[in-house]
Structure 1
Amino acid sequence: MAIRRILTIDNPADLAILKQVSKPVEGVDASLLSLMDDMLETMYDAPGIGLAAVQIGELKRVVVMDLGDGPAPEGEEPTEEGRVPNPRFFINPEVLWASDEMFCYEEGCLSIPEYFDSVERPARVRVAYLNREGERIEEEIEGLYAVCYQHELDHLNGVLFIDHLSRLRRDRAMTKVKKTMRMREDA
């Protein structure tokens, strides 16, 4: 496994990649499993709770996620934060149905460092994807799981969470990220 560089919106070349639509994956093979392992390690290192392949420059419809909502293994305690790792893998994810009820959540993104803003999305969605073993899964999800799934699916379609915001708030995000990244370079 390897930690990959996460593309960020302050870099015009990175932004051009992030705005592209990712291609469907034909099947699960050793190279795809390796990519997902790298993505998971990269996400944990960042740290984050979700990562789309496009965020590391791979235009493939692949997402990894870990909301820390797994069941505690027998005889083990959750982390200090109460989180139990629960890595999830999504190949060719899609939304089959979305509720009319909306849910507002303050989102952040590894490609938009240190910027958070409220985004309204469907509260519940019925989704389909292939898991790590290549099996098709359909399930109805809600809450943070649904928010994260929709956020990462947006990435695969060339959409960033700030694209759901007003022009003023998008511009504010770009300015803040550029300043953040300059400060990181100067440190």
Structure 2
Amino acid sequence: MILMEDIIREGHPALRQRAEEVTFPLSAEDKQLAADLHEYVVNSQDDEISEKYGLRAGIGLAAPQVNRSKRIFALHIESDEEKGISLIAINPRIVSHSVEKTYLSTGEGCLSVDRDVEGYVPRYARITVKAFDTEGKEYKKRLKGLPAIAFQHELDHLNGVMFYDHIDPRDPYKPIPDATPFER
């Protein structure tokens, strides 16, 4: 089980490296890594489990955040207002995206960042993605809203990019052209 002490923090060089493609069939080690990443995001949203193990709530976790250079991440978003999502993405990519942008009006956070970083992080409002599951089957999804934002955040981790790299350092709350804020 992944705990907070297993998650590396900003400044660690692994967070700035492009993660390696994963080969199929998955090794037992890679299957376990994918399952562990998914288990963390599910457990971190359970009040009882997160309190017991001191987990910070998160909706996504990427392999580089546990110091593993693998193109794997997990997302888990439960929601009443919109369609929730729970997935493992292996070798994910965005195959198309909207011109329209969005951003979290409250800003983004990250399990690898122990401080509040203010500012708008521009993201595509709608994306079509392809990735593989743990059995090596490719899937395609169309995402919008929080799932689209979270997918882009985790994909950035696989490319050595931190969310705050997208924030304008001179004007963190500068309006983003063609963007509609996403209220969480």
- Calculate the TM-score normalised by the size of structure 1: 0.74
Which one of 16, 29, 32 corresponds to residue 30 of structure 2?
A: 32
Off by >4 Å, runs of 4+ in structure 1: none
Residue segments in structure 1 that go unaligned for 5+ positions in a row: 71-81, 171-187
Which one of 160, 163, 166 corresponds to residue 165 of structure 2?
A: 163
Q: Distance in 2 between matches of 1:46 and 1:40?
A: 14
Structure 1 or 2: more helix by fraction: 1
Residue segments in structure 2 that go unaligned for 5+ positions in a row: 45-54, 173-184
Which residue does 2:50 correspond to in 1? none
Number of residues of Structure 1 aligned to a counterpart in Structure 2: 155
Question: Where do 1:94-133 residues align within 5 Å?
Answer: 94-105=93-104, 106-116=107-117, 117-133=119-135
What is the deviation of 1:168? 5.0
CA 1:59–1:122 in structure 2 vs 1: closer, same or farther (change >3 Å)? Answer: same
Which residue does 1:79 correspond to in 2? none
| Contact kept? 1:124, 1:142, Cα under 8 Å | yes
Which one of 61, 66, 70 corresponds to residue 56 of structure 1?
A: 66
Which residue does 2:141 correspond to in 1? 139
Percent same amino acid at aligned positions?
Answer: 33
Aligned to 2:116, what secondary structure does the other structure show?
Answer: strand
CA 1:18–1:169 in structure 2 vs 1: closer, same or farther (change >3 Å)? Answer: farther
- Calculate the TM-score normalised by the size of structure 2: 0.75
Aligned-residue Cα RMSD (Å) equals 2.5
Q: Aligned AA for 1:55?
A: Q
Superposed CA offset, 1:123-180 (max 9, x none): 001100001322100121111000000000001000000000123578xxxxxxxxxx
